[in-house]
């Protein structure tokens, strides 16, 4: 292991793992002007649990990397969590450090255990790539943030047979 990689791993070990990493940086301000993504989930299965929106650097190495490692290395990681509203279409806002290309993931944590379980929870990414057994290609899961608010619609995927896929013609809007 080279010295810089060792230092990053050591620094990650010193930052306490917490579900609050990236929240202060990701939280949109009142009347947010950007740069930020405003995300609308499409095809939610139900209104149980919470939504967790995260932003990662748009490269294969950092996409879905451990948040402690990203934060320790000074790389982009943002997180916003919200309960599902009892009615209406949910909308989440997440700030990014600058205009540019990022990967945005959206988890429907139906059992609210802060972990992704493909048998229970839903998942979607910017770019709405078709999902297989692994993480999608970073190019297909990327989105460009402008200087202001950038709207994204993320299609949710849930267990379907032995894999995950969007629900058939079901869009939660009530």
Long-range contacts, stretch 14-19, CB < 8 angstroms, 24+ apart: 14/72, 15/68, 15/71, 15/72, 17/67, 17/68, 19/79, 19/81, 19/114
Residue 3 φ then ψ, to 5°: -60, -50
Burial per residue of 60-89, b for 16 or more beta-carbon CB atoms within 10 angstroms, e otherwise: eebbbbebbbbbbbebbbbbbbeebeeeee
Tens of pLDDT along 36-58? Answer: 999 999 999 999 999 999 999 99
Q: Give the model confidence (pLDDT) of 135-173 as tens digits.
A: 899 999 999 999 999 999 999 999 988 788 998 754 444
pLDDT in tens, 108-117: 999 999 888 9
């Amino acid at each position: 292991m080279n010295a810089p990689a060792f230092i990053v791993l050591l620094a990650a070990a010193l930052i306490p793992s917490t579900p609050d990493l990236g929240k202060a940086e990701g939280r949109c301000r009142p009347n947010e002007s950007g740069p930020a993504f405003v995300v609308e989930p499409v095809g939610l299965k139900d209104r149980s649990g919470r939504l967790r929106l995260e932003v990662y650097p748009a490269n294969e190495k950092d996409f879905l990397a451990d948040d402690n490692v990203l934060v320790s290395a000074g790389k982009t990681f943002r997180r916003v969590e919200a309960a599902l509203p009892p009615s209406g279409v949910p909308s989440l806002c997440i700030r990014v450090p600058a205009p540019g290309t990022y990967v945005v993931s959206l988890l429907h944590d139906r059992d609210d255990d802060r972990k992704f379980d493909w048998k229970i929870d839903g998942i979607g990414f910017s770019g709405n790539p078709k999902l297989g057994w692994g993480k999608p290609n970073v190019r297909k899961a990327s989105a460009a943030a402008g200087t202001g608010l950038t709207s994204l619609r993320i299609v949710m995927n849930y267990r379907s047979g032995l894999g995950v896929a969007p629900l058939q013609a079901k869009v939660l809007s009530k």
